[in-house]
Structure 1
Amino acid sequence: MPSTENRDQPLFKSKLGLILTCLGSVVGTGNIWRYPRIVANNSGNEGGLVFLILWALGLWVWSIPIKLVEFAMGRYTKKNVIASFKELVGPWAQWMGAWVICVSLLIGGYYSVVLGWCFYYCIHSMAFPLPESYAESVERWEELNDTYYPLLCHTIGAVLAGFCIVRGVKTVEWANKILVPVLLLIVAFSLAWSLSLPYAYEGIVYLFSPDWDVLKTSQVWVDAVTQNAWDTGTAGGTMVAYATYMSHKDGVVSIGTFTPLANNFVSFCCGIMIFCNVFSALELEGRSRQYIVNVLKDNGPANTGLTFIWMPLLYKDITFGRGLATLFFLSLSFAGFSSLIGIFELQAVTLENMGLRRIPAAIIVTIVIFLLGLPSSLNLNILANQDASWGFGLIPSGLLFCTLVMYYGPNRFRRVLVNEFGTDDFKLRKIWNYFIAFISPLIGVAIVIWWIANNISDDSRWYQLEETSLLLTLIQWIILLILVLNINHIYQRFFGKSNLRADEDTIQDGSIEVGQPKSSQKEEYLATTRLLPKKEETSEL
């Protein structure tokens, strides 16, 4: 197949750079900070195996099918999320892309705060001795959040991320070639060391023991899918932005499957590492199993401090413990930083497609994300609220991607955007049609409904404006939905006609022949501009 790319479009220089950049975007604080605390919160008194099973299933029925959509649409349209929804569905669907963009933006606000914690612990581990006990480690965590250091570190993270996206994909690819391998090596070492600790096997036994009663709670189902979405970046739109730098030779199926699998493997290793460390430290103190389980679930609002309290304790008995702790938090900072860059890049590409130059776009994104993260940097309860609201907000975003495929046609999407457009890749099989059109949407809708119903029945305070209450989450969702719908309506009313005239000019100048069916015009035009093979006159399966 001839080249399909615009010569001026920047591309990844190598497949290794592409893979490491995609891994850098998803491997980070979600694996080491969020995953262990989500596992702990959803483990019963007997163990956490039930959550692990649901989490593994969620990868195959939710994350991978939708991740393939993101990669395919970005590589094909070479546009941001909003413009991709417009091209593949129609102008009326731009609000769907706007929802995805806004959810990612809101996640970026508090994600920058979490990254700031990583910066702080990196410097603190370098300058001061590691804590000698659980109580001392908790005290340090609480002291951090009683100061303005989270605000300072959040500011540094946002400014650095804004600076990095000024030059685009070239800097991102180069950085990830260094940062991601270093992080993976340190995680591997930390896992091996944690497994060698006294009583580490108690943590493994607990982690892999089932407590079937947790199946009755909606939260374990919700968190299994939400953690997959948050951890892999599914439906966040970041991969749509990165995929615009992919060529037709970069496989959507291979990379879109490998990236979430590799990411979840890293999360799994981090979960084992944390549980072994916690059980080892507290078993040596003579604590009971129930006490240890309670400690795992009680490390600040929404268990936000689990990793930052326990990882320093993991390294305290190692000869070069401070150096390793510093290197660990440095690598975690790098991995989280690369993920934050992905969020920044998504927003910058969107502003660029709206007509802004890259530097002004980078400045605007930096200011907005700084302001969004400001409340979370000053109050952990606000961060817990943002994580509960917008971490779960990725589920509606995923449903919108499913809607796009169903509207476009699952078989047509698979054929045109994936199998015919790409080379050097596996073929996307027909079974994907059933997942993206039936199974994934059904799971997403069922989880949202069950989550709402169980919150109302189980939480007597669901209607109060508390940090993780159902009502506060729904209010934020409704505000965002009204906002994007109205903006889309205003845009269509005042700018829709000019876009229509531009489309008519495209037809009149010969790019598309007048008289062809609209779908044929579209595919013929895309085939011409991208030098794609024309659609064969065969019926779809």
Structure 2
Amino acid sequence: MDGWFVGFCTTAILFYYSVVCGWSLKYFVLSISGQITNIDHTAYWQSYTASIYQPVLYHLVSIIVGGYIIYHGVIKGVEKYCKIMIPALFTLLIIAAIKALTLTGSEIGRNYFFELDLSTLFNAKIWLDGLSQSAWSTGAGWGLILTYSIYARKDDNIISNSFITGIGNNMASIIAGLAIIPTVFALSSNIPSAYEALDSGNQGLAFIIIPQLFIKMNGGTVFSGVFFLALFIAAISSLISMIELAVRIMIDFGFSRKNATLIICISAFFIGMPSAISIDIFNNQDWVWGLGLMLSGAFFTFAVIKIKTDTFIDDWLKPSRYVIIYKAIFKILFYICLPIEFVIMLGWWLWQSIQWNPSSWWNPLSIYGVGGVLLQWIIILLIGLIFNHKFVFMIKKNRN
């Protein structure tokens, strides 16, 4: 049942994440066509997300791009295109960061970005936001890395690869931060406006504030194109891993890769359409299944605890050295740190959600309500509980 929830949670994110890819692609087209300089960005964003045709079209294009890559398999598809996309992403981010750091006034944003405020170390929200961001950006608890591990070589160093994944992710995050935050401070009319822009949320910052700021600089159209192309590449690289997870599950049930890819992509298009058409539905699904990753991560933690960390290291990770050190670290992480983190994050989320919506937190129809999250989680968990043995039987039968 745990695996069912993890698999469904990531697939549910796939259904609406393709919409984000579509937004990025649409704004890249706006940038290279020059239209982005001639629009009221707030009004355009509101009009675009309230429309039907274009969000659905770009949602479809994103699924086709991701599906095409997965259709060709991991070696000829994912590995081949990631060798192009990941270097391209870093190149675009570095170009954007260099441009941002050369803007007059960017030093204010740079100082803000790297300023160390020791008092914030005692702020629980800072730690929780950091944990949430790390879990989201590294793919921890999604099942994505577990899916890719099927194709790993026996001599691959899992611990080193995991370490490199974390380092690479944090490097990309820092470069992206240097591209965005100094730009916001350099091009905002004053510092309070810059703070207001940073507080506008992911959608508002990326698709309203950033375009407004880019048109104020020389060559703004070009750098707007660079920014949104980088955003699209980053989004599509995540999307293909989600599609691969769903396709891999279908393969385990006996489908061929090609048929599984077609089924998943067609399903993703139709199930994701409501999120493409309604920003409220999108926000609700992002809220429900983004939080679901926390539960998915807990399931992975409990799975390791169940088989014991020493067994997990000896049978699965198989380090060639520092075995005693790894075992000691994993005991502290899995028996103490991770369970405590899960309980604290879950408790903080419940408390915060009730504080934000004191009169409607229980309402299952509320966009950001606790009731809606728990209802959708419970439905999926019940389906997994009812059909778990059937699913396991079908997978074992296919493998045999």
What TM-score, normalized to structure 2?
0.89
Q: Using the alignment, how far apart are the partners of 1:201 and 1:230 within structure 2?
A: 29
Alpha carbons of 1:146 and 1:483: their partners in 2 closer, same or farther (altered >3 Å)? same
CA distance in 1, matches of 2:331, 2:164: 19
Deviation at 1:353, TM superposition (A): 1.0
More helix, by proportion: 2
C-alpha displacement at 1:489, in angstroms?
4.6
**1:482 aligned onto 2:382:** yes
Matched, 1:295 2:200: no
**Residue 499 to residue 166, structure 1, CA distance change in 2 (3 Å):** closer
What residue is the counterpart of 2:167 in the other structure? Answer: 261
User: Does the 8 Å CA contact 2:184/2:210 hold for their aligned counterparts?
Assistant: no
Specify every segment of 5 or more residues in structure 2 that has no aligned partner in the other structure, as ranges. Answer: none
- The equivalent residue for 1:455 is 353
Aligned to 2:256: 357
The answer to whether the 8 Å contact 1:274/1:310 transfers is no
Give, in whole Å, the separation in 1 of the partners of 2:396 and 2:265.
30
Residues 1:141 and 2:40 are matched in the alignment: no
Q: Which moved more, 1:184-193 or 1:460-469?
A: 460-469
What pairs up with 1:84-103 in 2 under 5 angstroms?
95-103=1-9
In 1, distance between residues paired with 2:194 and 2:210? 16
Q: 1:499 to 1:264 in 2, by over 3 A?
A: closer
Residue 104 of structure 1 deviates from its aligned partner by: 0.3
- Aligned-residue sequence identity (percent) comes to 29
Measure the CA separation in 1 of the matches of 2:353 and 2:236: 34
Does the C-alpha gap of structure 1 residues 327 and 491 become closer, same or farther in structure 2, counting only changes over 3 Å?
closer
Corresponding position: 1:429 with 2:334:
no
SS at match of 2:151: coil
Give, in whole Å, the separation in 2 of the partners of 1:130 and 1:347: 36
CA 1:233–1:99: 2 relative to 1, 3 Å: same
User: Any conservation in 1 of the 2:142–2:293 contact (CA below 8 Å)?
Assistant: yes
* 1:163 Cα deviation from its structure 2 partner: 2.3
Deviations 1:43-69 (A, max 9, x none): xxxxxxxxxxxxxxxxxxxxxxxxxxx
Q: d(CA) in 2 for partners of 1:126 and 1:486?
A: 51
Q: For the structure 1 residues 463 and 290, does the alpha-carbon distance in structure 2 shift closer, same or farther, using more than 3 Å as the test? A: farther
The answer for the alignment partner of 2:284 in structure 1 is 385
Structure 2: distance between partners of 1:106 and 1:211: 38
Name the SS of the counterpart of 2:50 in structure 1: coil
- AA of the residue aligned to 2:47: E
Structure 1 CA distance, aligned partners of 2:186 and 2:222?
Answer: 22
Larger Rg computed on CA atoms:
1
- Equivalent residue runs for 1:154-233 within 5 Å: 154-169=59-74, 170-207=76-113, 208=115, 210=117, 212=119, 220-233=126-139
Corresponding residue of 2:241: 342
- Tell me which amino acid in the other structure corresponds to 1:337: I
**Cα contact 1:187–1:270 (8 A) shared by 2:** yes
Divergent runs of 4+, >4 A: 211-218, 317-320, 425-428, 489-492
Identify the range of structure 1 (447-456 vs 146-155) with the bigger mean alpha-carbon deviation.
Answer: 447-456
Matched letter for residue 290 of structure 1: P
* 3-state SS, counterpart of residue 467 of structure 1: coil
- Aligned residue for 2:348, secondary structure, equals helix
Partners of 1:396 and 1:410 in 2: how far apart?
20
TM-aligned CA deviation for residue 139 of structure 1: 3.1
Shift of 1:197: 1.6
Q: RMSD between aligned alpha carbons?
A: 2.8
Following TM superposition, by how much is the alpha carbon of 1:474 offset from its aligned partner in structure 2, in angstroms?
1.6
- Once the two structures are TM-superposed, the CA of residue 318 in structure 1 deviates from its matched residue by 5.5
Given the superposition, is the C-alpha separation of residues 181 and 324 from structure 1 closer, same or farther in structure 2, using an over 3 Å criterion?
same
Counterpart in the other structure of 2:311:
412
Note the C-alpha offset of 1:313.
4.5
Secondary structure of the residue aligned to 1:325 is helix
Contact 2:28 2:225 in 1 (8 A): yes
| Structure 1 pair 418–466 and aligned structure 2 pair: CA distance change class (3 A) | same
Alpha carbons 2:67, 2:265 under 8 Å: kept: yes
Task: Give 1:146 deviation, angstroms.
Answer: 3.1
**Is 1:112 the equivalent of 2:18?**
yes
Which segment drifts farther, 305-314 or 177-186? 305-314
Return closer, same or farther for 1:372/1:305 CA change in 2, 3 Å cut-off. farther
Q: Residues of 1 paired with 2:162 and 2:370: CA distance?
A: 33
Match for residue 228 of structure 2?
A: 329
1:374–1:404 CA distance, 2 compared to 1 (3 A): same
Query: What's the offset of the Cα at 1:361?
Result: 0.6
- The answer to whether the aligner puts 1:468 opposite 2:373 as a matched pair is no
Distance 2:192 2:99 in 1: 25
**Cα separation, partners in 2 of 1:457 and 1:120, compared to 1, 3 Å:** closer
Q: Are the counterparts in 2 of residues 274 and 307 from structure 1 also a CA contact under 8 Å?
A: no
- Contact kept? 2:107, 2:182, Cα under 8 Å: yes
TM-score (norm 1): 0.67
Larger deviation, residues 399-408 vs 371-380? 371-380
| CA deviation string 1:22-53 (max 9, x = no partner) | xxxxxxxxxxxxxxxxxxxxxxxxxxxxxxxx
Structure 1 gap ranges (5+): 1-94, 507-541
Distance 1:426 1:113, change over 3 A: farther
CA 1:137–1:178 in structure 2 vs 1: closer, same or farther (change >3 Å)?
Answer: same
Aligned residues of 2:32 and 2:222 also touching (Cα < 8 A): yes
Asked if 1:444 corresponds to 2:345, the answer is no
Report deviation, 1:459.
Answer: 3.5
CA-CA distance at 1:214 after TM superposition: 9.8
The answer to whether the 8 A contact 2:69-2:81 is kept is no
Residues 113 and 154, structure 1, Cα contact 8 Å, conserved in 2:
yes
